[in-house]
Chain A
Amino acid sequence: MPFEAVIGLEIHAQLQTASKIFCGCSTVFGAPPNTHVCPVCLGFPGALPVLNGAAVDFAVRAGLALGCRINDRSIFARKNYFYPDLPKGYQISQYELPLASQGALEYTVGDGIRRVGITRVHLEEDAGKSLHEGFSDSDRKTYVDFNRSGVPLIEIVTEPDLRSAPEAAAFFARLRAILVWLGVNDGNMEEGSLRCDANVSVRPAGSGAFGTKAEVKNLNSFRFLQKALEYEIDRQIELLREGGRVRQETRLFDAASGGTVSMRSKEEAHDYRYFPEPDLPPVVLDADRVDALRRAMPELPDARRRRFIEQHALPEYDAGHLTESRALADYFEQAVAAGGSPKMVSNWMMGELARALNDNGREISDAPVTAARLASLLQLIDRGTISGAMAKGVFEKMCASGRDAAEIVEAEGLSQIDDEAQILERITSVLSEHADAVAQFRAGKAAALGFLVGQVMKATAGKANPRRVNELLKRELGGGSPGT
């Protein structure tokens, strides 16, 4: 009996606000432990939370990008549990009325459109971090760093619409790209600013009912997500094949073994005793604020990809590549706006530019050649001032020196000789010096033409326009092809 997997994801994304969600402390990652803290994010007696409006704006943008309904009134709730890195003994989250709900992410996969339902997007605060290792007394003690306590998060919950580990990983990658594209999240899974848990169950293929699910936690890279899901799906299928039952439980992915291990059963699950947070009034979003945020939304990757195909006549492949990040797409459009021809800009971005970035470990946002300068280089090729081959050398010099293309071409005397009289002068002398080659050509040996072109190019130190050289040589040799 074939089985199919049913997967839903819960994604936690830190919002890129400058300060925390309920106090003024900085959200910058990597500061010395417990230096970005105050009475509010340490849960001191008498301290009260005050909502950071910027966090709401970020969450609304994420909700809009995921096609959600933005609820005009949402409320915070307390999620109660004890843990040393949770300073108040509760996390301020949203429960019954989330900020956004009922959305879907649609994206192109091959020829088709894939649609994954988004159940809800809600706002909450991050907890601190328990440090279980790395100290001389870590065998006996756990230290806590509260710098992360109160960093704003959105939790994105998907519908159980995913059917395989690779599909879940691909969806998560797509979601990550959008969040980063929006500037809502930095996409950094290593630092934990983007995290993913998965609910996984299996059922006989074609069945409409859901199987018992397990929640798998600690999936903090695309590779881990895919590996953990593959393992968990296999584990559940094997259990059922052997006549066993899947237990409803929370499991932890263990990167070392590549497997998942039971963390707590349903019976041991926390009762979070959610109730409305009395310290914070409801989040009321009037239509004007949401509209303003909607109008300020950037064009999203899929729409931009389609536009690149239509407006700039790019092939699917190019358009897909250039919309992998907003910075890449922006660079492309800036170069085109500065006069670069779209396909040529695309080729150069995927070729020379990508290589240059790669070699220097730089991001597109930090490219050694600006979009406008790349465009002016490409225009020199277009106009025939330099050849494509020469342009590559010029590009390298642009990267190294920061000078612009025209300046390098001028300074190094690189501009192409296009002038008929000048080229003819060289041709005349080449033809008289190499009468034997001329004779061979006339006798029908085509390769002789290549030799003659090479000699003319050599005589101009490579600066003659090769196309013109070809044309003029043929004319001088009597037009037609050999043997006519």
Chain B
Amino acid sequence: MNRLGTVREIRDAFRRGERSAVDVCTEALSCIAMRDPELHAFNTITGEQALARAAAIDSDRARWIDRPLAGVPVALKDNLCTRGVRTTASSRILEHFVPPFDATAVARLESAGAVIVGKTNCDEFAMGSSNENSAFGPARNPWAPDRIPGGSSGGSAVAVASGMTPLALGSDTGGSIRQPAALCGIVGLKPTYGRVSRYGLLAFASSLDQIGPLARTVEDVAIALTVIAGADPADATTAAEPVPDFSAGLSSHARGMRVGVPQTLVDQGVDGEVTAAYRAALDVLRDRGATLIDIDLPYAGAAIPVYYLIATAEASSNLARYDGVRYGFRDRGTDGDSTHRRDLDLKTMYARTRARGFGPEVKRRIMLGTYVLSAGYYDAYYLKAQQVRTLIRRDYERAFEQVEVVAMPTSPTPAFKIGERVSDPLQMYLADVFTVSANLAGLPAVSVPCGFTGNGLPIGLQLTGRTFEELTMLRIAHAYEQGK
């Protein structure tokens, strides 16, 4: 499974002339060909284009040799726009949609020398925690193919965890990078809100969405973040913050670092094996020189309801554009009986297009969000949620006066079986309990593998950092990774 190697290994081998981009790409594609039929990580595989691109890089080595991702195969979550390559968000409504432009993060990967091999499966419009909400069928966990890989960036996590690609991009609105990373035993990073341009990311909840990398090591996500981060004139919410080399200065100790432990929060509803792995991870951090400090996040308990009010409100508006008028699926049916056929009127066309184009979870969230924003309910739901969001942000600000990072389990449980929770959406929403706060507060957070359950399912440790201090957070994560 490790034949392809890490981002760092591939790049260095390319630089030394030991491996060509075509060799690496061929290996990645053959691994995909071998494993994807079972795991369904990909919605679209762009093999021909990838090989042509790899060949172009090989034939112009001088130009690419110093680029940070020279010759590195990358998988992209299928909600990132790729010019000329269909981008579906795992939805029927965009099943044949081909964007006319590249997402900024995609363009930055390519100019860093990356070779895009395909678009990965995900929950429809990134709405879900299990990848079961894909219109094209679920991706499967490579550690136990009868189990979910997590979501919504499930396909990206599976691609990396199964060795199909060393790097993938996902998007994270409430844990959609970190939770599948944890459940698939890899590293997943959600950057600070505003760190990575959202231009070209199909919006789910604009004030929460961030693009981020999934890879096998902390160093690899750091390399990728350095490439995709930075202000973008096409996204007014990106920050002008300088972008350091996040992979420089990673070390194996965490001396002088203070790690916050929200004990009350993590005592509730967490699987016993997850708790044990979490405790063991805290011990490793202490061994590496970090100080553990008890902290209190009194409003964190409200994060789930707040998240599902704000995220659905924004989603109900963001998904209004999928109306069948300009692009994507349109119900072209007709009304009337066989002798009196007529074209659908506008309202019927809208209703049928959206009824047939969207899956049940997306419809559920659009309805919830529409309700939340409706006259008479706005103050009680949306406005109140925004107020509590501010309180959650303040919880973290207060905690960060004492600590550099906050440590929590990424997911309260390991990967569950496919189909186990589909009939209980609320139970599904609770899987996000530890991840949504970082999105609500705009903070960076990373999930790193921290062991396995007795039956071999991966468990993740989540570190949440201060705004725009990914560097410190990644150093601590790296020290942990080296010490476990």
B321 contacts A280, CB within 8 Å?
no
Q: How large is the interface on B (under 10, 10 to 19, 20 to 34, 35 or more residues)?
A: 35 or more
Q: Is the CB of B321 within 8 A of A88?
A: yes
Query: B174-203: which residues lie under 8 A (CB-CB) from chain A?
Result: 198-203
A50 touches B (CB below 8 Å): yes
Q: Which residues of B contact A51 (CB under 8 A)?
A: 236
Which chain B residues lie closer than 8 Å to A140 at the CB level? Answer: 343
Residue of chain A at shortest CB distance from B320:
A89
Residue of B nearest to A142 (CB): B346
- Chain A positions 144 through 181: 1 when the CB is less than 8 Å from some CB of chain B, otherwise 0: 10000000000000000000000000000000000000
Q: Establish whether residues A273 and B317, one from each chain, have CB atoms under 8 Å apart when the complex forms.
A: yes
| B103 at the binding interface (Cβ < 8 Å) | yes
Considering the complex, give the chain A residue whose CB is closest to the CB of B313. A275
Min CB distance A289 to B, Å, is 18
Residues of A within 8 A of B206 (CB): 278-279
| Interface flag for A80 (CB, 8 Å) | yes
For residue A88, which residues in chain B have a CB less than 8 angstroms away from its CB? Answer: 320-321
- Shortest beta-carbon distance, B232 to chain A, in Å? 9
Asked if A46 and B99 sit within 8 Å, CB to CB, the answer is yes
- B100 at the binding interface (Cβ < 8 Å): yes
Which residue of chain B lies nearest to A277 when distances are taken between CB atoms in the complex?
A: B206
B472 beta carbon closer than 8 Å to chain A: no
Report yes or no: B321 in contact with A45, Cβ–Cβ below 8 A: yes
A39 contacts B101, CB within 8 Å? yes
Contact of B81 among A45, A82, A278, A280 (CB under 8 A): A45
Among A43, A46, A87, A280: residue with most chain B CB under 10 A = A46
> In the docked arrangement, what's the CA distance between A400 and B196, Å?
64
Q: Is A111 an interface residue (CB 8 A)?
A: no
Nearest B residue (CB) for A281: B236
Instruction: Give the number of residues in A that approach B within 8 Å (Cβ atoms).
Output: 30
Smallest CB gap from A146: residue in B: B326
Additional A-B contacts beyond A48-B234, A87-B321 (16; CB < 8 A) = A39-B101, A44-B101, A44-B327, A45-B94, A45-B97, A45-B327, A48-B199, A48-B236, A50-B236, A87-B326, A273-B370, A273-B378, A274-B373, A275-B317, A275-B378, A279-B203
Q: Which residues of B contact A47 (CB under 8 A)?
A: 101, 199-200
Q: Which of B94, B236, B237 is the most central at the interface, judged by chain A CB atoms within 10 Å of its CB?
A: B236
Closest residue of chain B to A84, judged by CB?
B325
Residues of A within 8 A of B378 (CB): 273, 275
Q: Is B207 an interface residue (CB 8 A)?
A: yes
Asked if A279 contacts B237 (CB within 8 A), the reply is: yes
Counting from the closest, the 8 A-B pairs by CB-CB distance are: A89-B320, A273-B373, A278-B206, A278-B207, A46-B200, A46-B81, A45-B202, A43-B321
Q: Are B326 and A43 in contact (CB under 8 A)?
A: yes
Chain A 386-419 residues near chain B, CB threshold 8 A = none
Q: Is B382 at the interface (CB under 8 A from chain A)? A: yes
A82 engages B233 (CB within 8 Å): no
Chain B proximity of A114: nearest CB distance (Å): 36
CB distance from B262 to the nearest CB of A (A): 27
- What separation, in Å, do the CA atoms of A182 and B199 have in the docked complex? 35
Whether B320 lies near A82 (C-beta < 8 A) is yes
User: B201, A46: Cβ atoms under 8 Å?
Assistant: yes
Q: In this assembly, does A222 line the interface, its C-beta being within 8 Å of a C-beta of chain B?
A: no
- Chain B positions within 8 Å of A278 at CB level: 205-207, 237, 314
In the assembled complex, B374 has its CB within 8 A of some CB on chain A: yes
A21 contacts B by Cβ under 8 Å: no
What's the count of A-B pairs with C-beta under 8 Å? Answer: 103
Mask for A34-58, Cβ within 8 A of B = 1, else 0? 0000010011111111110000000
Offer 25 A-B interface pairs, CB within 8 angstroms, sorted by A.
A39-B101, A44-B99, A44-B100, A45-B87, A45-B322, A46-B81, A46-B87, A47-B199, A48-B234, A48-B236, A50-B235, A84-B323, A84-B325, A87-B326, A89-B321, A89-B323, A271-B374, A271-B375, A275-B313, A275-B378, A278-B206, A278-B314, A279-B203, A279-B236, A280-B237
Q: How far is the CB of A88 from chain B (nearest CB, A)?
A: 5
How far is it, in angstroms, between the C-alpha of A49 and the C-alpha of B318 when the chains are bound? 13
| Chain A residues within an 8 Å CB radius of B346 | 84
CA distance A78 to B99 in the complex (A): 24
Chain A residues closer than 8 Å to B374, beta-carbon distance: 271, 273
Taken residue by residue from 306 to 339, chain B's Cβ proximity to chain A (1 for < 8 Å, 0 otherwise) reads as 0000000110110111110111000000000000
CB distance from B325 to the nearest CB of A (A): 5
Within 8 A of A (CB), among B291-318: 313-314, 316-317
* Distance (whole angstroms) from the CB of B205 to the closest CB of chain A: 8
Given A45-B94, A47-B199, A48-B199 in contact, is the A89-B317 Cβ separation under 8 Å? yes
A90 at the interface (CB under 8 A from B): yes
Q: Report the Cα distance A49→B80, complex, angstroms.
A: 17
In the bound complex, residues from chain B placing their C-beta under 8 Å from that of A82 are: 320, 323, 350
Over the window 441-483 of chain A, the binary record of Cβ atoms lying under 8 Å from chain B Cβ atoms (1 yes, 0 no) is: 0000000000000000000000000000000000000000000
Assess the A46–B199 pair: CB atoms within 8 A: yes
Interface membership of chain A positions 347-368, coded 1 if the CB is closer than 8 angstroms to chain B and 0 otherwise: 0000000000000000000000
A274 → B minimal CB distance (Å) = 8
Chain A residue with minimal CB distance to B382? A275
Report A85-121 residues with CB < 8 Å from chain B CB.
Answer: 87-90
Q: How far is the CA of A326 from the CA of B237 in the complex (A)?
A: 40
Contact present for A46 and B343 (CB under 8 Å):
no
Counting chain A CB atoms within 10 Å of each CB, the highest count among B94, B237, B320, B373 belongs to B320
Tell me the complex Cα distance, A50–B103, Å.
15
Inter-subunit contact B317/A80 (CB<8 Å): yes
Among B207, B326, B374, the one with the most A-chain Cβ atoms within 10 Å of its Cβ is B326
Contact B236 A49 (CB under 8 A): yes
Whole-angstrom distance between the alpha carbons of A163 and B159 in the complex? Answer: 70
**CB proximity of B84 to chain A, nearest CB, Å:** 14
Q: How far is the CB of B239 from chain A (nearest CB, A)?
A: 10
Whole-angstrom CA separation of A78 from B382 in the bound complex: 14
How many Å lie between the Cα of A48 and that of B313 in the bound state? Answer: 18
* Chain B positions 419-462 with a Cβ under 8 Å from a chain A Cβ: none
Q: Are A144 and B325 neighbours in the complex by a CB distance under 8 Å?
A: yes
B203: A residues at CB distance < 8 A: 45-46, 279
Which of the residues B100, B317, B375 comes within 8 Å of A39, measured between beta carbons?
B100
For B200, B321, B326, B327, the residue with the greatest tally of chain A CB atoms inside 10 Å of its CB is B321
Once the chains are docked, how many angstroms separate the CA of A45 from the CA of B80? 9
**Are A45 and B317 neighbours in the complex by a CB distance under 8 Å?**
no
